[in-house]
Amino acid sequence: MGKRYFGTDGIRGRVGEYPITAEFMLKLGWAVGRVLQTKGFNKIVIGKDTRISGYMFESALEAGLSAAGVNIALLGPMPTPGIAYLTRTLHACAGIVVSASHNPYYDNGIKFFSRNGQKLPDEIEEQIEELLERPLETVEPDVLGKAERIVDAAGRYIEFCKSTVPASTSLASLKIVVDCAHGATYHVAPSVFNEMGATVIPVGISPDGLNINQDCGSTKPALLCETVKKEGADLGIAFDGDGDRVIMIDHRGEVVDGDELMFIIARDRLRTGSRFNAVVGTLMTNLGLELALRALGLDLRRAKVGDRYVMERLLAEKLILGGENSGHIICLDRTSTGDGIISALQILAAMLQSDKSLHDLKAGMTKYPQVLINVSVTGGVDLQRPPIQEAVRAVESQLGDYGRVLLRPSGTEPVVRVMVEGADAGIVERHARELANVVRDTLSA
């Protein structure tokens, strides 16, 4: 069954445009409550990031859940992975996140966690959508849901984050710039690193409801790069608006992306005796990571783009580490979902144990030049047409074992993404443009 509202990461859109409206969120809260409440589990937690519309949607969801007879635990502004953690520890039947992640303030969305702190399966989302088509029916007044505010939510999550590295880990030797993107980590991340002894220079910690992700955070690291160099810091850490992604900056001001961070974590896990044979990436994961993992005796398993698909592959193959180059990294041996703070702590622990800088740790992996071109299309997309396939085979033949070609239609806009990767930047650029022209000419003929 095709889903009308749910995408790969919940429901998201522009505030005020259906379905991102207060009226829809009221009905959504009721439908979620009806589907997810079970005997012995009759509480749902709600957390949000710092965008202004979160107040409106938190209240609407609360009303809908109460109408369904479900109790509510309000967490306030909290990182998405913190909401996943508290869903488990508060023994709730589900967790609701009001966030649009790295999007601007005028967007918002809803994500859900099951009671084990993982994304809802497709069949549950389909049941919720089915109920959305029915009239809202309020339970009897004596069984309406009650709401409580969890005043120590941030403190609980901070302690959990610190517990994911050895208790002896001290960051006292490190000077760290932490960019919270004026988002959900603003009151959590600096405390985690401070309490572990680091000298912390926080930026992006003054949310006003409108400045989330604005010229800062993991998607716009220029401010962090500049601050790291200006302050003479050992490194910088940048989160996105809801805290499930992280990228880092080394002491030279160079970006260390999700692929490089996964390599560092994988190598450190092997050092400490973890037993696993593969890491899960996506179709866009850099070839350099695949080759670096191979040198460690590990395979790279590629899933479709999206952390949801990475998680599915991790669970299916009982693996512990996966992620995307955007910095959404999942350490399943530490927590149940992608977590920016916990991923950063794994890197810091590896630095301290190896007595190496972040710049030196990433040197074990060489990123390959990667060029991505979007080709606008109209109508149907048939990438199996002979001129396209012949062009792909020709490029692959020239790149050999040290290059990659990927063509894929976008799931969100009318374009075909043409990606070419290889050892020589100039050759990669030329092949990508030639292949994009073939795709454009063939599909428009």
The set of catalytic residues is 101
**Alpha helices (runs of H) in 400-424, residue ranges in sequence order:** none
Q: What is the DSSP letter of 178?
A: E
What length does the chain have?
Answer: 445
CA distance 395 to 7: 33
CA dihedral 378, 383, 389, 391 (to 10 degrees): 30
Radius of gyration of the chain (CA): 23
Which tokens go with 351? 């630095």
Instruction: Provide the 10 A C-beta neighbour count for residue 195.
Output: 14
- Give the closest residue to 48 by CA, choosing from 93, 105, 8: 105
| CA-to-CA dists, residue 444 to 84, 269, 276, 381, 382, angstroms | 46, 49, 46, 10, 11
256 vs 262: CA distance, rounded Å: 10
The answer to whether the CB of 297 falls within 8 A of the CB of 238 is no
